[in-house]
Structure 1
């Protein structure tokens, strides 16, 4: 008898239930900025300004919307620490901290398969190829 653990994804006898769980997880973690924000908060509490400065290329509106969504999902706590000027600190809830065991393998997989050995070297986007005006195919980056 093998002592290797069977992956949880293969233990679930309900195909429909497995799909529903994966869809729900992807809904939370599939947003572009959610894993980035969660990973940043794994290092401890941050103010909005600290998060904005630490996360490259995220707009304040997108950061605010993402934090609100993560808070509604029960992954992030928001605490007002001063009234004037208003300062808010964000931390992970215990449920949010549990995602470290999900985010770490995502990072390992991404570094191994999405980059050519260099984290700074982003791969070209994939997706539908649309012909440009010259007739050559270009990636649809929408």
Structure 2
């Protein structure tokens, strides 16, 4: 008999608290722009315009809404810099920085199993594909 604890991912999926927790996590990380914003902020503080320039295809409204949500979730700090013109800088809270341990495996899994720009990972997916995802090989950008 193993003395190692049961991994959290193997807990009873029908357990109400476990399901509720997974739904809450998916609500935060499941938004299209949230993981991208969090990953950018893992590299340090950014102003709103720096984030907008660094994130492809995000509108100013969506970036603003996403940053507000992440701030409300306690993952991002917003600080108004007292300069002319007034600027706002964003940083991760400690709770936000702890998501690096979640975001890195998500990115690794995506590189191995999902397609980006018509290039698929090293293994064929066994389950259903998300709409709009084509096959091909994912380039290793590490």
Q: TM-score range by the shorter chain?
A: 0.7 to 0.9
1:40–1:51 contact (8 Å) kept in structure 2: yes
Report the Cα distance in structure 2 between the residues aligned to 1:61 and 1:13, rounded to whole angstroms.
36
Matches within 5 A, 1:25-104: 25-104=25-104
Residue number in structure 2 paired with 1:138: none
- Of Structure 1 and Structure 2, the greater strand share is in 1
TM-score where L is the length of structure 1: 0.78
Q: 1:66 to 1:105 in 2, by over 3 A?
A: same
Shift of residue 10, structure 1, vs aligned partner: 2.6
Q: 1:90 to 1:58 in 2, by over 3 A?
A: same
Question: Larger C-alpha radius of gyration, 1 or 2?
Answer: 1
Report the Cα distance in structure 1 between the residues aligned to 2:89 and 2:45, rounded to whole angstroms.
6
Report the Cα distance in structure 2 between the residues aligned to 1:84 and 1:61, rounded to whole angstroms.
23
C-alpha distance after superposition, 1:39-65 (max 9, x if no partner): 000000000011000000000110000
Q: Tell me the matched-pair count.
A: 124
Report the Cα distance in structure 2 between the residues aligned to 1:34 and 1:20, rounded to whole angstroms.
20
Report the Cα distance in structure 2 between the residues aligned to 1:13 and 1:53, rounded to whole angstroms.
40
C-alpha distance after superposition, 1:15-72 (max 9, x if no partner): 1111000000011111000000000000000000110000000001100000000000
TM-score where L is the length of structure 2: 0.78
Shift of residue 85, structure 1, vs aligned partner: 1.1
Report the Cα distance in structure 2 between the residues aligned to 1:12 and 1:96, rounded to whole angstroms.
27
Q: 1:121 to 1:3 in 2, by over 3 A?
A: farther
Report the Cα distance in structure 1 between the residues aligned to 2:30 and 2:100, rounded to whole angstroms.
15
Q: 1:10 to 1:47 in 2, by over 3 A?
A: same
Report the Cα distance in structure 1 between the residues aligned to 2:70 and 2:119, rounded to whole angstroms.
27
